[in-house]
Structure 1
């Protein structure tokens, strides 16, 4: 039996949690409601932009892989570079969800560890 939560439910919970803590969150692209993957764009404005992709480790545990980190120096260019990475991922997997969180105070915590691979 698969104990995974539906992606649409997880995304909705993240959006609600973020708004409750004064961190606007927006679904930039809806994917498959049941099993779609997730790309998380953390926009920390002056601190830069980070992109994470939800994945599983070899034991089936949820992890996050960093797929992009753009420095704080060029805020507008960061969004364009992040958009290019996201577009490539969406072209490869159209069922993927894209969630952007505006985390100005760097308070958002991922719900699983970040993989080093």
Structure 2
């Protein structure tokens, strides 16, 4: 079953909170089906940026599929530039930022 973007973001942030990972919505998008971008800040000047994977947005089990848009040593300015381009193309995107020194906040790239 596919979750609406707003519900997925809420559930993701709640899971992060339970795991001791701080997160926040930076930009609210379309509640029903806005594309979700997740910035994972490692608090050392490097970031991961996950966005929707090309093709189907969900796998056979209904999980969101992710593409790695930027990976360390990318910094906050690199992430901002990519997200500004995405917002110009699609103003309904969600931007969520989490702080995870250990990794990718549980997100994995789809194959």
Which category describes the TM-score, using the shorter chain as reference length?
0.7 to 0.9
Q: Which has the higher strand share?
A: 1
Uncovered stretches (5+) of structure 2, i.e. residues with no partner: none
Q: What stretches of structure 1 of length at least 5 have no aligned partner?
A: 73-77
Partner of 1:89 in structure 2? 86
Whether the 8 Å CA contact 2:2–2:58 is kept in 1: the answer is: no
- Alignment check: 8 A CA contact 2:53 2:110 kept: no
- Give the count of matched residue pairs: 107
The offset of 1:97, in angstroms, is 0.3
DSSP-derived class of the 2:71 partner? strand
| SS across alignment from 2:79 | helix
Query: In the alignment, what sits opposite 1:42?
Result: 40
State TM-score, norm by structure 2.
Answer: 0.83
Question: Which has more radius of gyration?
Answer: 1
Question: Relative to structure 1, is the Cα distance of residues 27 and 59 closer, same or farther in structure 2, using a 3 angstrom cutoff?
Answer: closer
Tell whether the 8 Å contact from 1:42 to 1:102 is kept in structure 2 after alignment. Answer: yes
- Deviation readout 1:17-73 (Å, 9 max, x if unpaired): 11121110010100000111100101112372010112364595242111112317x
- TM-score normalised by L of structure 1: 0.79
